[in-house]
Structure 1
Amino acid sequence: MDAAVQRQIEPLMEQIEAMDSRLRFTDVISGLFLILGLAGMGLWANGRRK
């Protein structure tokens, strides 16, 4: 019985691993906006000091 369940679950596990390993568009956009946000806060803080 355990072997039968394992055979049925194996394709699902492979799909989950494939989805986790690829770089998603939203991950790229999130990273860009994080960098822009940090740069904006730095520029704001720099301008406020002067």
Structure 2
Amino acid sequence: MADSILLTGQVALLKGKGGSWVTLVGIFGPLGSLDYTDDIFRPIAKLNIQLVR
């Protein structure tokens, strides 16, 4: 099992960025009461995506 980061917010801004370098600046937030049952990737924190420029 691998831990992961759950991206939230304006995630559509990352569309087409696969295989590209991106810079994410933010604060990792707690998952709260998120019920996540994926057996492969278990999120350990969430990062809210927002447009900066």
| TM-score, normalising length: structure 2 | 0.17
Between Structure 1 and Structure 2, the one with more helix by share is 1
Higher relative contact order (CA 8 A, sep 6+): 2
Structure with max Cα Rg: 1
Higher strand share goes to which structure? 2
